[in-house]
């Protein structure tokens, strides 16, 4: 399985969070929004300039900046579970 960061995920792809590389208040914030290791996350919408990106997490949509997404490590879901 390929490991990379959330900012590299493309539209409608689904991944699973494996680690958070932020710390302090930002890490706390991510966890409060339900982004913890094991959480499924999906790219729902991309803004016109590509930043921020809206992600679907636990039934809610959350917008993250690219620099925030770059601190979230993910692993891609098996191919059959990702949508084209």
Partner 1 sequence: MTVHTTTSHACETCPLGTNAQLIRLGINVEGWNYVVALAGNPNTGKSTVFNALTGLRQHTGNWPGKTVTRAEGGFLYQDERFKLVDLPGTYSLLSSSLDEEVARDFILFGQPDVTVIVVDATRLERNLNLVLQILEITDRVVVCLNLVDEAERHGMTVDDRALARDLGVPVIPTVARRGEGIPELLAAIHEVASGAYKARPHRINNHNPALAQAIDTLAAQIEARFEGLPNARWVAMRLLDGDERILEAVRSGELGILARGAQPVGSALQQEAA
Question: Under the rule (CB under 8 A), what is the footprint of partner 1?
Answer: 25, 28-29, 32-34, 57-60
Q: Whose Cβ is closer to partner 1: residue 25's or residue 49's?
A: 25
Q: Whose Cβ is closer to partner 1: residue 34's or residue 52's?
A: 34
**In angstroms, what is the minimal distance from the CB of 64 to partner 1?**
14
CA-nearest of 35, 47, 43, 46 to 73 is 35
**In angstroms, what is the minimal distance from the CB of 15 to partner 1?**
18
**In angstroms, what is the minimal distance from the CB of 79 to partner 1?**
26
User: What tokens does 47 get?
Assistant: 């803004």
Q: Report how far apart, in Å, the C-alpha atoms of 80 and of each of 3, 13, 53, 61 are.
A: 17, 11, 23, 23
Q: Whose Cβ is closer to partner 1: residue 1's or residue 25's?
A: 25
In the numeric block, the tokens 């098996």 are attached to 78
């Amino acid at each position: 399985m390929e490991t990379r960061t959330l900012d590299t995920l493309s539209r409608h792809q689904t991944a699973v969070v494996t680690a958070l590389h932020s710390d302090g208040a930002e890490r706390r914030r991510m966890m409060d929004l339900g982004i913890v290791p094991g959480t499924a996350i999906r790219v729902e919408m991309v803004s016109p300039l590509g930043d921020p990106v809206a992600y679907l997490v636990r039934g809610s949509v959350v917008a993250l900046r690219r620099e925030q997404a770059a601190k979230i490590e993910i692993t891609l879901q098996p191919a059959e579970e990702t949508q084209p």
